[in-house]
Structure 1
Amino acid sequence: MIKDLNYLSLIVLHIVIGILIFYLPIIRQPFYLAVIVYFVAQIIIAKKSKKTLTVLFACSYIVAGESLFRMTGGGLFYEISKYLIILFSILGMFYSGISNRSYPYFFYLIALLPAVVLASINLGYDLIFRSSVAFVLSGPVALGISSLYCYNKRITKSELLDIIKYLSLPVISMTTYLFLYSPSIKETLAGTGSNFGASGGFGPNQVSTILGLGIFALTVRFFLKSPNLLLKIFNGSLIIAITFRALVTFSRGGVFTAILMIGAFLLLLFSNSSFNQKRRIIFAFILFCLFGLVTWVVSKDQTNGLIENRYANQDAVGRNKDDITTGRTDLFLGELEGFINHPYLGVGASGMKQVRLEKEGQIIASHNEISRLLSEHGILGIFIICILLLKPLSIREKSKNNLFFYAFLVFWFATINHSAMRLAAPGFIYALALLNVTNEKKRPIHRKRIIQ
């Protein structure tokens, strides 16, 4: 009961934070700075047994709040979230070290370096070397550092649920901000393209991605931490609000990713449950689907039916669009061509931007991390992809207690295929799949000795 009250108070607090950020722009940067100072202090003063958990709480909160602080200008600079993940992970390494079996991620980080050397040679004057390289490599480096830290770190199932709770809190603040920023969705409509007006004036793709992560986090809460109908309705209402805001961004990537994550989580949950638990899951799932139906009906009404056209890949008048990927396929094929032309070391970090600038006269960033790794790193890109795909599977063979293992990998893989690594989230969520999740320690039962 006390835990439920603490959870409810955190939800209310983050709704208030969203309101304050909207109405008092002056507090945005000081608040973000206070969040950083708070988590650094918590990591330093935490007991040794709680260091790992505190680091993971800090990283979870930062990645979930990235889009909010980017859209409001609260972040101290654009890529700060990725650097904070690196900082918190290094602090964690200082206190608790790393596993000696995490060495493939050292090789992964080393394999990124040749692309930096090539970039220093190849990038033209129109692309600033430092910012261009930092933009494409800060995400992969954050993934590597956080993976080094997380690999085989022991946490309990309940601690993992707390980490997921931290992923939901800033999303609630962002959802509150979005409702205040554009309370009337109909006024923001301009066809079936991505809706900046409904995304806080920021990139719909990034906003949708983080909202999708929040949908997943609260769905986990709905199924595993809502023991009564009242809490299920409360968490379901939060899911409806966040899903609605994700849908009306008209950016499908985050929504589809959330659906895939939830599917992966529920399949593992159902297969590992007893008969009675399965009955409860089925009941919760029916209620969950009803919430989804309500959300879709409301979204369809508020967008004058355009949301249905968007997900059917049609324009505003119902004509089918030729390219469901909105140009991403051409970028993908162009980067594969870059790999074919430069198979050994690739074109260097941000090299494909340079190629597109010379060919098309404009700088276009990649939307697909897999093709970017191949084009910019060459054969080393294949080596990097093999590490990223195979290493998590090896740890899964030894420890099958991470109920969210496949959901985490789905988020990483789906996100890097529609949004590359613009956000810190895919790198850190990938690292969570490397945790060694253990069963709760049972308290010993003390029996009184009978004196005869």
Structure 2
Amino acid sequence: MKKTSLSYGYIILIHALIALAVFALPFLSKIYAIVVPVVGFLIVVKKQNKNNEVLLVTAYMVGVEVFLRMTGGNFNNEFIKFNIIGFMLLGMIYSNFSTKAFVFWFFLILLIPGILMAVAVANFNTDIRKALVFNLSGPVCLAICAVYMFKRNVLFSDLQNIILAMGFPIFTTAIYLFLYNPSVKDVVTGTQSNFATSGGFGPNQVSTVLGLGIFIFFAQLLLFSKSKKLMFLNGALLLLISFRAIVTFSRGGVITAVVMIMCLLFLLYYFSSPRGKSKFTTVFIVTILMGIGLWTYSYLQTGGLIEKRYANKDAKGRTKKDRLGGREEIIDTELKLFVDNPVLGVGAGMGKQAREESFGMEAASHNEISRMLSEHGLFGVMGLFILFVTPFILYFDNKQHLYFLSFYVFWLLTINHAAMRTAAPAFVYALTLLSVKVKIPEKPED
């Protein structure tokens, strides 16, 4: 255990130093963006993906995506998604995939009518290639990840290593935020999402990835802290990431993290023995006390503005008319477009153009569900049905997947407030499809 703790601590330290190095020398972010896929490729090829190294590499990419974006390391907005798709295909070459995953190949086919429709209706002012890539890279990434992970056997301990691979670069992101903005008090003046506390990048995406980090290190604290040193370390990581997530003033990622934790605690309690359930009282109390302490500190650091933000009030305490930062109006227009174009929709990536022409509103969608309906019509409905139902069908024979509900709600809640701007919801959704065993059953002797 000492060796394990030491190596874990060193990995944490290395990722803190990465944040410091990139903050001091920003050009290193580009080098980091190159090193990650190159080293990942060499690892997968050398190991021939015998232990699902592809999942570790792609999980790390999911965790590092927002950090690369905020520090200028990404070569384009879809850089990580394209890399993940490539690694998943490489993994299929080495390790094949389940023939039962055809449902997600069918999901990809359902996107084709929307593409054809987009080509037919796009005007001269629309960059059709850019519009298609922006809106379809997420669903395509999800489908390819889902095909690779569909009923793929992994141990629960291996799954924990996969989500930790996501967690380490998320910790790097949190450290970078402290370096970029060491004093929250100096930059918080209102209740709107705050770019200064989000590293100068989109608070919604920063909050989303930090929320995922909250869950990862909560699970690590609860299930894999076998010594007091590890408990202290994981507890500190959890509080650090949670604070930086809260002060982005973007609520989506934080609320999602809370729901994920509630789902994990529910499943752990449900499947625990009577003796295990009795210990949960302590877990609940400690979790609540940590939450109260963190919220109090955040309240003091923001001069009480964070409480007004979550109460949907402005800095003067007046209740805001909209609860979702203007997203309700976009969703409403997308539903109207669906009603007017119920079969084929307005075309993949054409929602922004159609909203501008019909309603005079030039804004990209933040909701993947309403976007699928408006742009893909009936084919979008069928695609969403596949995504909603398939994980639960598999879960009936996959009860040892303790993170199933948490991963599912992360995907569902994230696509409702941040669409699929990043690879995180696509990858985490696919994790629900893994066949997880707490331990490999022993083979009976002949």
TM-based fold match above 0.5: yes
Matched, 1:320 2:339: no
Amino acid at match of 2:217: L
Q: How does 1:17-416 map to 2 (within 5 A)?
A: 17-50=18-51, 52=52, 54-359=53-358, 361=360, 363-416=362-415
Deviation of 1:85 after TM superposition, in Å, equals: 1.3
Amino acid at match of 1:302: Q
SS at match of 1:32: helix
Q: Is the Cα contact below 8 Å between 1:223 and 1:281 reproduced in 2?
A: no
| CA distance in structure 2 between the partners assigned to 1:400 and 1:49 by the alignment | 25
Aligned position for 1:450: none
TM-score of the superposed pair, with normalisation by structure 1: 0.95
Q: Is the Cα contact below 8 Å between 1:82 and 1:138 reproduced in 2?
A: yes
Structure 1 unaligned segments of length 5 or more: list them. 447-452
- Listed one character per residue, the Cα deviations across residues 392-430 of structure 1 (whole Å, up to 9, x for unaligned) are 111111221110011111000000001111111001100
Structure 1 residues 344, 381: closer, same or farther in 2, change over 3 A? same
Amino acid at match of 1:134: V
- Listed one character per residue, the Cα deviations across residues 72-93 of structure 1 (whole Å, up to 9, x for unaligned) are 0111211111111101110111
Q: Is the Cα contact below 8 Å between 2:131 and 2:350 reproduced in 1?
A: no
Deviation of 1:7 after TM superposition, in Å, equals: 1.2
Deviation of 1:362 after TM superposition, in Å, equals: 5.2
Deviation of 1:360 after TM superposition, in Å, equals: 5.1
Aligned position for 2:15: 14
SS at match of 2:100: coil
Q: Is the Cα contact below 8 Å between 1:236 and 1:288 reproduced in 2?
A: no
Deviation of 1:288 after TM superposition, in Å, equals: 2.5
SS at match of 1:398: coil
Q: Percent same amino acid among aligned pairs?
A: 43
Q: Is the Cα contact below 8 Å between 2:184 and 2:302 reproduced in 1?
A: yes
How many pairs align? 444
Amino acid at match of 2:398: S
- Listed one character per residue, the Cα deviations across residues 273-332 of structure 1 (whole Å, up to 9, x for unaligned) are 223333444323322322222211111111111001000111001111111111111111
Q: Is the Cα contact below 8 Å between 1:236 and 1:291 reproduced in 2?
A: no
Deviation of 1:190 after TM superposition, in Å, equals: 3.1
Q: Is the Cα contact below 8 Å between 1:246 and 1:254 reproduced in 2?
A: yes
| CA distance in structure 2 between the partners assigned to 1:203 and 1:125 by the alignment | 29
| CA distance in structure 1 between the partners assigned to 2:361 and 2:339 by the alignment | 22
Amino acid at match of 2:9: L
Structure 1 consecutive aligned stretches of length 4 or more whose deviation exceeds 6 Å: 442-446
Q: How does 1:417-436 map to 2 (within 5 A)?
A: 417-436=416-435
| CA distance in structure 2 between the partners assigned to 1:138 and 1:47 by the alignment | 27
Structure 2 unaligned segments of length 5 or more: list them. none
| CA distance in structure 1 between the partners assigned to 2:15 and 2:348 by the alignment | 38
Amino acid at match of 1:20: A
Amino acid at match of 1:34: V
Amino acid at match of 2:46: I
| CA distance in structure 2 between the partners assigned to 1:274 and 1:18 by the alignment | 42
TM-score of the superposed pair, with normalisation by structure 2: 0.96
Amino acid at match of 1:314: K
Structure 1 residues 445, 234: closer, same or farther in 2, change over 3 A? farther
Structure 1 residues 17, 341: closer, same or farther in 2, change over 3 A? same
- Listed one character per residue, the Cα deviations across residues 153-180 of structure 1 (whole Å, up to 9, x for unaligned) are 0001110111111121011100000000
- When the two chains are superposed, the root-mean-square deviation of aligned CA atoms in Å is 1.6
| CA distance in structure 2 between the partners assigned to 1:292 and 1:44 by the alignment | 43
| CA distance in structure 2 between the partners assigned to 1:356 and 1:443 by the alignment | 59
